[in-house]
Amino acid sequence: METYIDVYINADGEKSSIIFKKLTEIGLKYHIGEHDFIYDWKKIASISEELALADKIQEKLKGTGAILRFITIR
C-alpha cells in the first residue's frame, strides 16, 4: 500500500526547498512523475494509520502555506 502526496506551494508561503526538507525528514520519499512524494506502508494500513500520517504531515507543514493532496492505493 502506498500513499502519494501532492504539494501545492503558496507563492507567499515557505520556500519549496524548506518544504521538501521537512517532508523528507519525516520519511517521505520524493517521487518523480505525477506525484511529489510517496510513503510506502509496506503493509495494508488502517484508516486510523492513514489519518495519523496525514495529521503528522499537516503538523510538520503548519504555517508554510502549503496545500496538500493525499491519494492512497492498495
Angle between helices 16-25 and 47-60 (to 10 degrees): 140
pLDDT digits (tens, 9 = 90+) for 13-61: 999 999 999 999 999 999 999 999 999 999 999 999 999 999 999 999 9
Please name the fold of domain 2-73.
Alpha-Beta Plaits (3.30.70)
Q: What ranges do the domains of the chain cover?
A: 2-73
Dihedral pair phi/psi, residue 21, rounded to 5°: -60, -45
The whole model's pTM is what?
Answer: 0.89
Tell me whether strands 67-73 and 2-8 are parallel, antiparallel or unpaired: antiparallel
